[in-house]
Chains A and B, each alone.
Chain A
């Protein structure tokens, strides 16, 4: 699967980018399923994140019961420890030509996350991922750890 980097405007010139005013990020839309349905939520491929983390409000929206759920804890860069609750959910990723669907234990944190953190456990571990900076795209190839189903489509898939 190949996904283009997403571009987002900045407020001003970025010194680390030679004064550019656009950030390009390896963000993909991941479908999360719960008892009340599913949502496509953007997530950043984040190999610095040990777990895969979604915002808590998304769990509420999808009817994912976190009562008594196992707890995790993370420390964002320079921040305080953040607790989160684990739940096993179904995730689906597609570029329209290929679809991958699997179950994963992910965390739900009460943080104002602009996008999900698609971390190692539950997500990146299952793909061999190539970040192509010059082309501003990412190629993700399933690896032998992938625990789910893979489908190819002759016609575009949702």
Chain B
């Protein structure tokens, strides 16, 4: 995994695509160009990532908030 590439590509990822995953946890491809897996259950991600042919250890995990304000990592309605 090349973290330089990941950071550069993650920032450029289309926001409208991310918006489709509000309320989910997503696993990024190692280069940050695409989403490998997404789920409302973060513990399900590993299996989904493996099914997509990637190594869970190389795919950064991020939660996409389903509200417009997050305080302390928790959604605020």
A114 to chain B, nearest CB (A): 3
Residues of A within 8 A of B1 (CB): 158
Q: State whether the Cβ of A69 lies closer than 8 Å to any Cβ in chain B.
A: no
Residues of A within 8 A of B10 (CB): 4, 6
Q: State whether the Cβ of A149 lies closer than 8 Å to any Cβ in chain B.
A: no
Residues of A within 8 A of B65 (CB): 8, 114
A interface residues (Cβ-Cβ under 8 A, vs B): 3-4, 6-12, 14, 22-23, 25, 27, 29, 37-42, 44, 46, 48-49, 53, 55, 57-58, 60-61, 76-79, 94-97, 111-117, 156-158
Q: Total interface residues on B, using CB and 8 Å?
A: 38
- Can you give 20 A-B contacts (C-beta < 8 A)? A3-B7, A6-B11, A7-B15, A8-B18, A9-B18, A9-B22, A23-B68, A27-B62, A42-B60, A42-B61, A46-B72, A46-B73, A58-B42, A77-B72, A96-B4, A111-B73, A112-B75, A114-B70, A156-B3, A158-B3
Q: State whether the Cβ of B48 lies closer than 8 Å to any Cβ in chain A.
A: no
Residues of B within 8 A of A22 (CB): 15
Q: Which residue of B lies closest to A30 (CB)?
A: B60
Interface of A is mostly: strand
Residues of B within 8 A of A12 (CB): 68
A113-B63 CB under 8 A given contacts A55-B42, A96-B7, A158-B1:
yes
B58 to chain A, nearest CB (A): 7
Residues of A within 8 A of B22 (CB): 9, 11
Q: Which residue of A lies closest to B63 (CB)?
A: A114
Q: State whether the Cβ of B46 lies closer than 8 Å to any Cβ in chain A.
A: yes
Q: Are A8 and B59 in contact (CB under 8 A)?
A: no
Q: Are B73 and A117 in contact (CB under 8 A)?
A: yes
A134 to chain B, nearest CB (A): 16
